Amino acid sequence: MNHEASVRSLGLLYYIGSSIFIIGTLASIGILIGGIFGKDPEVTVGLGLIMLLIYGSFAAGFLFIGHGLRQLKNGPRIAAGIFSAIGLLGFPIGTIIHGYFLFVLFSEKGVYVCSEPYRQIVRATPHIKYKTHWFVWTIAIVFLVIIVLSVLIGLILPAVQ
């Protein structure tokens, strides 16, 4: 059950990541609209469309992965593994965090937790619940603080200049 909670918690982190990309998608729409009514629409509209495509794709992909991990499905586990393998390049913190993610997803327990026999066990015992791992809550809080600080800096910095 501990490993199940860890896999589900990774799904929560992908939901948080998706929310960041949704904010980027909304900003891209703003750039796109501003470009349509701006001085140089060719460049701005092109940039807005590219950003919209990139941010929108990642937002949808992360939602898919987050939902799949919360449902203990195998396909999203593999997709999360690909993103975690790329995340290993973020030395040193990214390497540590994504190394843990890869362990959770691809250890023997991780593979079993995302299998159909285990999902049948979960459906047969809905009254048994487990709390989210402290490590995942820590990462979620760090992400939340970074998001809040980024938004505050984005709002305050232009007012100061």
Please write the tens of the pLDDT for every residue from 38-66.
777 777 888 889 999 999 999 999 999 99
What is the reported pLDDT for 57?
96
Residue type, 103: F
Q: How far is CA 108 from the centre of its chain?
A: 23
Q: Note whether 6 and 133 are within 8 A (CB).
A: yes
Whole-model pTM: value is 0.75
For residue 105, what are the domain limits? 2-160
Instruction: Output phi, psi for 126, to 5 deg.
Output: -70, -15
What are 61-101's pLDDT values in tens digits? 999 999 999 999 999 999 999 999 999 998 888 899 999 99
Quick check: 15 and 62 in contact, CB under 8 A? yes
Which pLDDT does position 160 carry in this prediction? 67
CA distance 18 to 62: 5
Structural domain count of the chain: 1
Taking the C-alpha atoms of residue 52 and residue 45, their distance in angstroms, rounded to an integer, is 10
CA distance 137 to 2: 14
Q: CB of 21 within 8 A of CB of 15?
A: no
